[in-house]
Structure 1
């Protein structure tokens, strides 16, 4: 595991903020060479509520393949790569074929029904107003991730797909991200592997306590709290 920012000794009474939350702003002052900072965001259930679109795609996939898929159950397990869900419904030898079909169906069935999560645009814009870059690092098929953001008018500075959990550290390190925001314990692991601050939002399948137990530095109820958190983090305010 990569080195992780040392926790502050400050305490907080907020049950949704980890007592180990960093209260300084490592890496958030603009770099002298690049004049920018980078904060990464997960996509599904962090920036977008992908459940309606994914459910519709699974239902169409079920109809096309003649295979039963409990789409309502599947959308409670979002986060890991598609193949980890498909193994519940298809034999191993069909996973590659069915995964390709799912991704082909996805633009037609999943993009339009999928809304932005509360505070998503404002969170991205808060990073950019602070002089930074906001990147999206997701396990989702990258072209489909870009379709979601374009449809919703969320203007990230870069989108990197096909990365899950610890593998997300590859992109976070490449882009020099010092903070990673996500909703899943896999996102926490990705942040920690990259040596980035883990900011979690309790809007996905993992509860706040589970995110904290996984090592999140900060847990917010949702992204509407992110701009204020970011402002306090940049200013180095205790408890931010």
Structure 2
């Protein structure tokens, strides 16, 4: 099996030629990267993570594909002169070996950076089908990975160019490359466009299910097509690709049925909370402070119901230029804080069941953080008033970030401070701004409603779940959550 015959060179530069097979393989990887990047951005991973994984998995995938081929094609031939193993230009790659090596690199990368491996894999692995579909056309150009001899009439309903290139050495051969390419493309469409869309409505998928669907689809389709090929790598009397395909199907089915989740418990999710309107009922203090500023610099009547709802959630630096354009924002923020701090004991109280929830989570070993648009001293003041500081591991306030919510910077910083990956994090907030920040970070979001006037805005932000009582979180954190567009 020759993977890079000279006749299949796309461009020649002196003694160096660029092969069609290589171009198609790189194209497949590139398209897979673009689809994976789209999914990873939804889950809060930045482009650097996507690039690192793409390069690492590709390079190690080539190594794995080469070693797998050498091992099962004729290991004694390569051991007689080990330098032949490195002569990849003479042909010899096996995709299943590449999948194993790429997966091992992904596992290493996820553990190193404290990411959830299955969540990363869900973003990437199903998209491998499109790379495989494109890559099989390299086999077509190289006139390999074909089936048994067939008659010319076999191609009556095929495009002429396929028929012509399947005429090899005076004989027509079945285009098994095409069968697998089409099946791979169908599998990609099924998972990426059909199953995921259905899941957005019915929420039936769990973390890892994207990978399990891939294994089952690729496993059965490769098993069928491999049985038609004439150039299979063998393990004794067994076609190696069919043996691995059976393993893929077995693992995929058991994984989807939840067997692995029963024996491989996930670590406890990191619990992050907004402060105002979530753990502390600071709404009266916020409104009273704004009212004080309106009375001083505008009129009390102008601080109507619409503005009262609008100021709950966004940072001061965003709201003050809108309401007080002729005032210095920094000076106004200082004035706001001074008055707000003074009235805290009178106007602030903890939310119902807030202390009970924090105490329970702490006793069960959860790490707890606060991510707020308030400055740190304001957060600490509120927590200290009601002895809640003892339950909190980290505080990320407005002065700790360059960009406030809905930018996800604060959530990422809290995860970093707690030495945890963001992909096993739950963020609890009471405003649309909080939920959008959670979406931007790719974390599971809980919308807490205590003000019925704001319920529609919170629903429109589409949190993963909405609660009316903080104690409900005790059960939510123990659930096996669905695989939503920003997966738990």
1:200 aligned counterpart, secondary structure: strand
Alpha-carbon distance between aligned partners in 2 of 1:10 and 1:82, rounded to the nearest angstrom: 38
Matches within 5 A, 1:67-146: 67-69=298-300, 70=302, 73=305, 74-77=307-310, 78-146=312-380
Q: 1:56, CA displacement in angstroms?
A: 2.9
Q: 2:396 corresponds to which residue?
A: 160
Q: 2:445 corresponds to which residue?
A: 198
For residues 159-201 of structure 1, the C-alpha deviation after alignment (integer angstroms, 9 at most, x for no partner) is 1111311233332442335111111122112222222111111
Matches within 5 A, 1:49-64: 49-62=281-294
Q: 2:275 corresponds to which residue?
A: 43
Matches within 5 A, 1:169-208: 169-174=411-416, 175=418, 176=420, 177=422, 178-204=425-451, 206-207=454-455
Contact 2:429 2:446 in 1 (8 A): yes
What root-mean-square deviation, in Å, do the aligned CA atoms of Structure 1 and Structure 2 show? 3.2
Q: 1:96, CA displacement in angstroms?
A: 2.3
Alpha-carbon distance between aligned partners in 1 of 2:272 and 2:428, rounded to the nearest angstrom: 6
Greater C-alpha radius of gyration: 2
TM-score by length of 1: 0.75
Q: Which runs of 5+ in 2 are unaligned?
A: 1-40, 45-118, 123-195, 208-260, 399-403, 483-488
Q: 1:218 corresponds to which residue?
A: 465
Q: Which runs of 5+ in 1 are unaligned?
A: 12-17, 31-35
Go from structure 1 to structure 2 and tell me whether the alpha carbon gap of 1:23 and 1:115 turns closer, same or farther (over 3 Å shift): farther
Matched length: 219
Contact 1:40 1:137 in 2 (8 A): yes
Q: Which has the higher helix share?
A: 2
Alpha-carbon distance between aligned partners in 2 of 1:62 and 1:93, rounded to the nearest angstrom: 12
Contact 2:439 2:445 in 1 (8 A): yes
